[in-house]
Structure 1
Amino acid sequence: MSTDTTPRRFAATDTGLTPDMRAAFEADGYLLIENFVPTELCDGLVARANELVAGFDAEAHRTVFSTKSVAHAADRYFRESGDAIRFFLEEEAVDADGHLTRPKALAVNKLGHAMHDLDPAFSAFSRQPRLASLAKGLLSDPLLLQSMYIFKQPGIGGEVSWHQDSTYLYTEPMSCIGFWFALEDADSTNGGMLGMPGAHKGPLRKRFRHVDGDQLVTETLDPAPWPDRPAVNLDAKKGSLIVLHGLLPHYSSANRSTRSRHAYTLHCIDGAARYPADNWLRRGPDLPLRGF
């Protein structure tokens, strides 16, 4: 797959979605908005994530997250994380017996999936007015469904294979929007993101959902390969925001560099859409979906 390294970039505004942004999002399936979040807010979220990891018992919960093996799908700790704050380890940070091979702070793959509702620091970051204005320009009734803090640890940060977010957060009609915040500089050397402009106009290829009660499976809806079109390097400086259409194929490589690549991802759906009961991510009645 060829790569175009010159994505369209926009400057952050306090007025929400501009006409130029809307046109670019409809054409490309993504927006790259620079200087969306002040440096001090990025640093504050990094510090809070590190505090949460410091209190995590890595011996009690050793679920590894990998988009290659998808072994985490069989683990109840993962399946019941939709209304919790859970900790998932890097595949290369544990030995054959599941014990850490490096310090805990350098072993966590990600946190998920309800920090935006359960932790005050994450809630404040997720509901900042600038983001609310942008989300309300994209969805009629944006509801905050899922949050993930991704560490992309130096040397071992796992690859995230090509995928569409609506595979995991499916609605009828499809409405998933991803907001990906670079909390540190992200580029092709430390596992930065790639996207496939315009490919969001194609079909949903897979669904990750519950079957037979509590089993999670990936169902193939369309077996056709990804379209043969150039990918774009979505290099993002600290404080940048990448907005992702739920059908846009995107990818990030393993991080073999000496630099981490911390990022925070928030996913919204439209309250006017139906959220099927067989979606993998479930929330109990004590934590209903909220907007901004």
Structure 2
Amino acid sequence: MFVWQYQEDGYLALEGFLDPEECDKLRERMSEIVDEMDVPEYCRIQFTTNHDEQLKNQGSADYFITSGDKIRFFFEKGVFDEKGEFIVPRERSLNKIGHECGKEAGFKVPCDFAEHQPGIGGEVTPHQDATFLYTEPLGRVMGVWIALEDATQENGCLWFIPGSHKNGITRRMVRTPKGTFPLTDFVGRERDYDDKLFIPAPVKKGGMILIHGEVVHRSALNTSDHSRHVYTFHIMDSQDTQWSPENW
């Protein structure tokens, strides 16, 4: 049943993967990391999946590209003044923390702690993970998204277009040749999607969503008074699979 649903819809929501105590421990550890955060002003960039917005951030793209084996911080829109100083509490300024790889565990792709802050949590526009994590053949990457707090329609749960993983991808983010600028670029463009096709996938604290690399998904603005912290990573099936050297 579960396998069929994942293959048919491109995602699968499972409640009760972690217990509340495990969720709290992950959040406590992340609070310790944020307390020690020291980010140069030129690296204080907004995280986005939007094509045009990402190109605007190229001035500090090396901060993103070299984050594969480090802990790096990416911020919500509008949390800095014109001098690059925080105008909100530091612990509420973050969109995500990434992308340190779990090499010892054999993971091929990075892990994130996504924040989605109350009142300012930015929209994640419709996208497919395979745009950024490309393999040949396609369909060998699966996202694992674990809610450390209740994820609701009010605080920015995920929304999916069921079955959209069967239509391939239309854009890729690739590294540009060494020594050129910008450091990354896009090949192709994201399709335009009808909002009516998206289905919400709310989950309780400790719930897990498995995400096919080609399924179209998004999350809305967090306009509530409640944060929506999640822990997320991707797994690649390495058998007979080529990880693209053009990936960031």
TM-score (ref. length: structure 1): 0.76
- Flag the 1:228–1:255 CA change in 2: closer, same or farther, 3 A: closer
Distance 2:77 2:58 in 1: 14
For 1:158, the equivalent position in structure 2 comes to: 122
CA contact (8 A) 1:200 1:246 kept: yes
Contact 1:67/1:159 (<8 A) preserved: no
Give the equivalent residue in structure 2 for 1:77.
63
Structure 2 distance, partners of 1:145, 1:27, is: 24
C-alpha contact 2:101 2:109 (8 A) present in aligned 1: no
Q: Structure 1 residue 32 and structure 2 residue 13: aligned?
A: yes
Do residues 62 (structure 1) and 9 (structure 2) align? no
Aligned twin of 1:201: 166
Question: Is the 8 Å Cα contact of residues 149 and 205 (structure 2) preserved in structure 1?
Answer: yes
The amino acid across from 1:268 in the alignment is I
SS in 2 for 1:277: coil
Alpha-carbon distance in 1 for matches of 2:46, 2:11: 29
Q: 1:204 to 1:227 in 2, by over 3 A?
A: farther
Provide the residue aligned with 2:30 in structure 1.
49
Task: Indicate yes or no: 2:186 matched with 1:218.
Answer: yes
Residue deviations 1:162-192 (CA, integer Å, cap 9, x gap): 0000000001112110000001001110111
> Counterpart of 1:234?
201
What do you get for the CA RMSD once the two structures are aligned? 2.0
Matched, 1:167 2:134: no
Aligned counterparts, 1:1-292, within 5 A: 20-60=1-41, 61-68=43-50, 69-70=53-54, 71-75=56-60, 76-114=62-100, 116-117=102-103, 143-174=107-138, 175-213=140-178, 215-220=183-188, 224-226=191-193, 230-272=197-239, 273-280=241-248
In the alignment, the residues of structure 1 paired with residue 196 and residue 119 of structure 2 have an alpha-carbon distance, to the nearest angstrom, of 30
1:264 Cα deviation from its structure 2 partner:
1.0
- Cα distance in 2, alignment partners of residues 115 and 258 from structure 1: 32
Show the counterpart of 1:130.
none
Distance in 2 separating the partners of 1:256 and 1:227? 22
Provide, for residues 30-85 of structure 1, a one-character-per-residue CA deviation record: whole Å limited to 9, x for no partner: 00000011111111111111110100014554222233411444411112111111
Measure, in 2, the Cα distance between the counterparts of 1:115 and 1:107. Answer: 23
The amino acid that maps onto 1:271 is: S
Query: How many angstroms does 1:265 deviate by?
Result: 0.9
Deviations 1:95-133 (A, max 9, x none): 22221101111111111001645xxxxx8xxx7xxxxxx
Taking the aligned partners of 2:19 and 2:108, their CA distance within structure 1 comes to 21
The whole-number CA distance in structure 2 between the counterparts of 1:228 and 1:89 is: 26
Q: Distance in 2 between matches of 1:108 and 1:227?
A: 29
Is the CA contact 2:81–2:87 (under 8 Å) kept in the aligned structure 1? Answer: yes
- 2:192 and 2:47 map into 1 onto residues whose CA distance is 25
Contact kept in structure 1, 2:101 and 2:107, CA below 8 Å = no
Deviates more, 1:50-59 or 1:256-265: 50-59
Amino acid at match of 1:113: H
Contact kept in structure 2, 1:176 and 1:269, CA below 8 Å: yes
Q: Secondary structure at the match of 2:82?
A: coil
Please list every run of at least 4 consecutive aligned residues from structure 1 whose deviation after the TM superposition is greater than 6 angstroms. Answer: none
Aligned twin of 1:8: none
Structure 1 73/24 Cα, relative in aligned 2: closer, same or farther at 3 Å? Answer: farther
Per the alignment, do residues 90 and 25 of structure 1 end up closer, same or farther by CA in structure 2, a change over 3 Å counting?
same
Distance 1:227 1:275 in 2: 31
Partners of 1:155 and 1:162 in 2: CA distance: 20
Percent identity between the two aligned chains: 36
